[in-house]
Structure 1
Amino acid sequence: MTTSAIVGNFKICQAKLGAKLHDHRDPSSDLGPMLRQVVGTIFQLMDQYQDYWLKVDGSMEVPTLGKFAGQKAKAFDIDQANLVEYFKVGLNNFGGVWKNIIEAKDFKIIREIARIDKSDQFLMPLDTWVRIVYRYAGAFHATPRQRFKVLDTLTPLYYGRVGSLVNELRDKTPEEAEQHFEQNALAFERMKGYMVGIWKRKEE
């Protein structure tokens, strides 16, 4: 909806609706289907609107409507060890696929962090994650008949990234966590030229 509104040149704003409250349970079991649905949709929209987004440079703030509702989401436990283990199993199962899709330097990093024994020391570099997502977007675009099979092999890498985020956010306040995610988003924006280069090579 947001993407269609932007491409349609509608006026965009955001509304303060309060905290999005979920069941207080470990969300890791839902990450796979969520990734397939959300990222699959985004990658499809990249195909549909490529003539638009390829020309966009930078971003801007949009107006915010409403007042802060004062709700705070309650903390819940995450099985970080399971996230990291899923990532490691993914390397065993899909290592050959990953090697063909992502950059050699990032595949080397993936293999190195897979050897980390302690989950609380597990970190996936942000720039590595950005390049992986962008390479997968290019692979999704280039394989229309197998695109969701390709996308499914991204799931263990995403589990690894979430496992890394648990460590990155461990001692942060909600406000600091929000700023952390803003910096993540800015990294994707900063490296957009990398994505554009991949996309144009796939078009040749």
Structure 2
Amino acid sequence: MKVMVGVPSYNNAETIGFVIKQAAEGLKKYFGGGIIVNADGGSSDGTREVVLKTQVPDGVEVQSFVYKWPIPGKGSAMKELMEFAREKEADILVFVDSDLRSITPEWIYKFTKPIEEGYDFVAPYYIRHKYDGTITNNIAYPMTASLYGKNIRQPIGGDFGISAKLFDVYLKDEEIWKSNVARFGVDIFLTTTAIAEGFRVTQTTLGLKIHDPKDPAASLGPMFNQVVGTLFMLMKKYEEKWKHVRKIDEVPIWGESTYEEPEAVNVTLELLKIRAKELFAQNEEILRRALSKETFEGVKKALKTFDFDDVLWSHVLFDGAIAYKDGILNEADPLVPLYFAKTADFVEKTRDMSTLEAEKLIKERAKTFLDEKDYLLEHW
């Protein structure tokens, strides 16, 4: 098996050297060598210099290039890494993020071994703090599980293993790479496409994920727009796949699961509430058109108390998807204040819970979305 590790980056000089070193040791230990390729977005902090200066074992080749695809973003880097892997005739491509502080050499093995055993797509299964991954927990996970019927816990985890069979599938439509797939929409695109196109998917245990998390109210608005916009776009593309799904199937988890409480991630609750109200006021008219009357009134009530239950939240996202399909919404951005409000609700309800206890609420959310799927089908 010829294994390539792809590392997209942009101004990650402080962390990428560690990622390259761990990946190189994994390639050497488990495969006798391999190639690591960094696709950079034109960093100004010396990221590529760090990559190329990192000491790696004999048999491991390291390359770095600035991607040429004109849209700046993580997806553009990953697109060209897949093209590079295809040219090099790699059998397996492992993507790892450039800000990881918890990656070990074993991660490379854990992403590649399931593919050697016949899987095509390997999603990460790691432990994250209850407030790390709010877009995953509130949107990407429950929507993916309820729509496509696969219980993949980290559909936008950032780190993936893919078989060479998927290269052509992901790259065949160049137009899709002119959308938010070229940015942070890429992870939900990779996961959804693998499921919807019928490839064998699994998850691999990686323990704790420690990286550079972001405070949702301060910095996750653009990421929300890109991820959710892509999710809505794919719902249009694959509606004949998800319309008939009525249950959530468990997806195998490769490896032994262990648990330890992750390091805390700070969320500024008051800022979430302030931003939710401010942005709702700015987007009230478009939201009145995008949401059903019942959903809109429910949202206005929730913004007074920040008690935002999962049934109402599912209707917000389902209405948003329908408005996107019908051209009322051209992007997901007007829904950002409601994401902030839902995140505030989750923080309020879980402040005294451990991550493991909070996890139960997130799993229940996916079941609620499935239970409410008739609402989506009736209005779609």
Per the TM superposition, whether the score is higher than 0.5 is yes
Structure number with greater Rg is 2
Query: In the alignment, does 2:222 pair up with 1:54?
Result: no
Query: In the alignment, does 2:192 pair up with 1:3?
Result: yes
Following TM superposition, the consecutive aligned residue runs of length 4 or more in structure 1 with deviations greater than 4 angstroms are 69-72
Q: Which residue, 311, 315, 327 being the options, matches 1:131?
A: 315
- Which residue does the alignment assign to 1:65? 254
Report deviation, 1:90. 2.0
- Which residue does the alignment assign to 1:37? 226
Query: In the alignment, does 2:323 pair up with 1:159?
Result: no
CA contact (8 A) 1:17 1:69 kept: no
Q: Structure 2 counterpart of 1:139, which letter?
A: A
- Secondary structure of the corresponding residue to residue 206 of structure 2: coil
Q: Find the aligned partners of 2:284 and 2:238 in 1 and give their Cα distance.
A: 31
Report deviation, 1:7. 2.0
Q: Which residue, 354, 357, 363 being the options, matches 1:176?
A: 357
Report deviation, 1:158. 0.6
Q: Find the aligned partners of 1:182 and 1:25 in 2 and give their Cα distance.
A: 22
Identity across matched positions, percent: 29
Report deviation, 1:97. 1.7
- Which residue does the alignment assign to 2:87? none
Q: Find the aligned partners of 2:216 and 2:337 in 1 and give their Cα distance.
A: 15
- Secondary structure of the corresponding residue to residue 220 of structure 2: helix
Q: Structure 1 counterpart of 2:374, which letter?
A: G
- Secondary structure of the corresponding residue to residue 13 of structure 1: strand
Q: Find the aligned partners of 2:289 and 2:213 in 1 and give their Cα distance.
A: 38
- Which residue does the alignment assign to 1:92? 281
The higher-RCO structure (CA 8 Å, 6+ apart) is: 1
1:161-182 C-alpha deviation (Å, 9 max, x unpaired): 1111101111112211111100
CA contact (8 A) 1:24 1:74 kept: no
- Secondary structure of the corresponding residue to residue 18 of structure 1: strand
How large is the RMSD of aligned CA atoms in angstroms?
1.9
- Secondary structure of the corresponding residue to residue 194 of structure 1: helix
Q: Unmatched 5+ residue regions in structure 2? A: 1-189
CA contact (8 A) 1:101 1:135 kept: yes
Q: Structure 2 counterpart of 1:192, which letter?
A: K
CA contact (8 A) 1:5 1:12 kept: yes
1:11-52 C-alpha deviation (Å, 9 max, x unpaired): 221111222223266343222112112111111111111111
Aligned length: 191
- Secondary structure of the corresponding residue to residue 55 of structure 1: coil
Q: Find the aligned partners of 2:243 and 2:284 in 1 and give their Cα distance.
A: 30
Residues 147 and 171 of structure 1: CA distance in aligned 2, closer, same or farther (over 3 Å): same
- Secondary structure of the corresponding residue to residue 17 of structure 1: strand
- Which residue does the alignment assign to 1:82? 271
CA contact (8 A) 1:26 1:79 kept: yes
Q: Unmatched 5+ residue regions in structure 1? A: 117-121, 200-204
1:97-155 C-alpha deviation (Å, 9 max, x unpaired): 22222232332232233334xxxxx32121111101100000011118x521xx11001
The two structures have a TM-score, normalised by structure 2, of 0.47
Of Structure 1 and Structure 2, the greater helix share is in 1
CA contact (8 A) 1:87 1:156 kept: yes
Query: In the alignment, does 2:330 pair up with 1:147?
Result: yes
The two structures have a TM-score, normalised by structure 1, of 0.85
Q: Find the aligned partners of 1:3 and 1:24 in 2 and give their Cα distance.
A: 24
